[in-house]
Amino acid sequence: MARVAYFFPKHPLRGTPFHQGAADRLDVLFTTLNRLVQNTHSQGQRTTEGDEIYRNHFVGDKAWFTRSSESEENEFAQELTFRHPLHSERKILCSWHGKVKLHQLRIHFAWPDNETRKAMVVYVGPKITKR
């Protein structure tokens, strides 16, 4: 069962040329994020497979997913804050992102909460934190 929900109120990819390699990479990132969430219990503990996915893709120099640095979170706080897809009165900081080197694309998401148990992807588009 899918544990990642996608919400795109805007269309940041408009004007970005289609590239099959970038599309394939996005698919791999979405699949990996979904697998991690599927292997995470409601209290946030990961299964053995979840630990392996996290170690292989969320930490280290070659991580596919990283959190923006503290300085980026401060400098780009407004750009990294999105309306909560299910509760429009709430906003969520989504500094965690998956990376596609081609076109410098990013997917920004919120970690699962106890209510939905789904990661919420709120942005797919060009890198937000360009300096």
Separation CA 67–CA 115 (nearest Å): 23
Nearest to 65 by CA among 92, 17, 28: 28
3-class SS at 85?
coil
Domain ranges across the chain: 4-126
- Tens-digit pLDDT profile for residues 67-113: 999 999 999 999 999 988 888 899 999 999 999 998 899 999 998 87
Predicted confidence (pLDDT) at residue 123 exceeds the cutoff of 70: yes
- Tens-digit pLDDT profile for residues 46-71: 999 999 999 999 999 999 999 999 99
Q: From start to end of the chain, where are the E strands?
A: 4-6, 65-67, 81-83, 91-93, 96-100, 105-110, 119-126
